[in-house]
Amino acid sequence: MTVRKTIIGAFAILLAASIAYTVLPENVFAAAETPAEEIVIQTPPAIRVVAAAQRELVEHLSVTGTIVAREEAAAGTDLNGLTVLKLNADQGDRVKKGDVLAVLDRSSLETQLAQMDASRAQAEANIAQMEAQIADSEVGVRQAKEGLARSKTLQAKGVAAKAQLDNAVNAFDSARARLGAAQKAVVASQAQLAVIDAQKKNISLQLGKTDVKAPADGLVLARSATLGGIVSAAAGPLFRIAIDGEFELAATVAETALPRLKADMPVAVMPAGSDTPIAGNIRRISPEVDQRSRLGTLYISIADSSDVRVGNFARGEIEAVRRNGVAVPEGAVTFRNQKPFLQVVRDGKVNTVPVTLGARAEGYVEVKSGVTAGDEVIERAGTFVADGDMVTPVRGDVMGALKP
CB 90 within 8 A of CB 159: no
State the amino acid at position 100 in one-letter form.
V
* Cβ proximity of 326 and 373 under 8 Å: yes
Sign of CA dihedral 317, 319, 324, 326: negative
Q: Per DSSP, what are the bridge partners of residue 223?
A: 239
pLDDT of residue 348: 86
Q: What is the pLDDT of residue 160?
A: 59
User: Would you say 282 and 264 are in contact if contact means Cβ atoms under 8 Å apart?
Assistant: yes
What is the C-alpha separation between 367 and 352, in angstroms, rounded?
Answer: 14
Per-residue DSSP letter, 335: E
Nearest CA among 223, 215, 225, 226 for reference residue 240: 223
| pLDDT tens-digit profile, the chain (404 residues) | 444 444 444 444 444 444 444 444 444 444 444 455 566 567 788 888 899 889 888 888 899 999 999 999 999 888 888 999 999 999 989 999 999 999 999 888 888 888 888 888 888 887 777 777 777 777 777 777 777 676 767 666 666 566 766 676 777 777 777 777 777 877 877 888 888 888 888 888 889 889 999 999 999 999 999 999 999 888 889 999 999 989 999 999 999 889 889 999 999 999 998 888 999 999 999 999 999 999 999 999 998 877 788 999 999 999 888 888 899 998 889 888 889 999 899 888 888 899 999 888 888 998 998 888 888 998 887 667 888 888 888 886 444 443 43
Distance CA 302, CA 147 (A): 92
Are 364 and 19 in contact by the 8 Å Cβ rule? The answer is no
Specify the amino acid at residue 239. Answer: F
Tell me which amino acid residue 256 is: T
CA 95 – CA 215 distance, rounded (Å)? 10
Question: Is 381:331 a contact under the CB 8 Å cutoff?
Answer: yes
Q: CA-CA distance, 236 to 232, in Å (whole number)?
A: 8
At residue 338, the pLDDT reads: 86
Q: Tell me, rounded to whole angstroms, the distance of Cα 195 from its chain centroid.
A: 50
pLDDT at 235: 85
DSSP 8-state secondary structure symbol assigned to residue 186: H
Complete DSSP assignment for 281-303: EEEEEEEEE-TTT-EEEEEEEES
Q: Global pTM?
A: 0.60
**Crossing angle of helices 107-157/162-209, nearest 10°?**
170
DSSP letter, residue 82? P
**In this structure, what are the phi and psi dihedrals at residue 388, rounded to the nearest 5 degrees?**
100, -10
Beta bridge partners of 326: 54
What is the pLDDT at residue 86?
A: 94
Residue 312 CA to residue 280 CA, distance in Å, equals 16
**pLDDT of res. 142:** 74
* Whether the Cβ atoms of residue 185 and residue 130 lie closer than 8 Å to each other: yes
Cα Rg, the chain, nearest whole Å: 55
